[in-house]
Amino acid sequence: MSEYCDHELRVRYAETDQMGVAYYANYLVWFEVGRAEYCRRRGFSYRDLERSADRYLMVVESRCRYRAPLRYDDRFVVRTRLEEFRSRSLTFGYQLLGDAETVHAEGMTRHVVAGPDGRLHRFPAEYAALLSG
């Protein structure tokens, strides 16, 4: 659906286990970093969406397939793409890429648009225009 947004990161010591391998739950955190950067590059931040439109992107599904371990101090790219956009939901796809385009992990997150009370809403038009542009 859209172009990829690449954002470079490095595995920090605090993100690893005793063997120096990145802890599995951090991959979902890195997906979030990629998603936030994707939105920023399209002209808005999550904070903008929450404060000015009073809308939140709630995660309703996530998947991660681990292909090759990331280790302490490895540099990698979070590659994020908007896979599907509907009036009340969005699906993002991710890849974590290392040296020589090694795929360390790939996954997705699905989100619904909600108000502060948790009720579903349409994605605000001004932000939808930024995502589709």
103 contacts 95 by C-beta, under 8 angstroms: yes
Which residue among the candidates 6, 17, 48, 117 is catalytic per the annotation? 17
Based on the residue annotation, tell me whether 17 is a catalytic residue of this protein. yes
Torsion sign (Cα): 9, 15, 19, 20: positive
Reference 23, options 105, 111, 132, 110; nearest CA is: 105
Q: Residue type at 75?
A: R
**Which residues are marked as active site?**
17
